[in-house]
Amino acid sequence: MTTPPTSPAGELLWAQPQTAQPAVELRPFITAYSAFEAALPPGEEIHAQVIPPGVPVITLLLSGHIRITDGPAAGQTAPPAAFTGQLTRSGGTACGGHLHTFMVHFSPAGAHDLLGIDMKPLQNTTVELSAAAGAGTEAYLQAIQKAPDFVTRCHLTDAFFEDVRQRSGQAPGLGAAAAQLLMQHAGKLEVENLAQRLGISARTLLRRFTHEVGVSPKSFARLMRFRAAHNYLQAPNATWADAVLKFGYTDQSHLIRDYRDFAGETPRQYDPEARVLDRSATVTKKPEADAR
CA distance 180 to 55: 12
What number of other Cβ atoms are within 10 A of residue 34's Cβ?
17
pLDDT of residue 133: 86
pLDDT of residue 15: 58
Q: Residue 77 gets which letter from DSSP?
A: B
What value, to the nearest 5°, has the Cα angle with vertex 64 and ends 59 and 70? Answer: 65
pLDDT of residue 40: 82
Give 10-residue mean pLDDT values along the chain (292 residues).
39 68 97 91 82 94 90 83 92 88 97 96 92 87 96 98 91 95 95 96 97 97 93 85 90 88 70 36 41 36
pLDDT of residue 41: 83
Domains and CATH numbers, the chain: 13-168 (2.60.120), 174-264 (1.10.10.60)
pLDDT of residue 14: 53
- pTM of this structure: 0.85
CA distance 265 to 282: 14
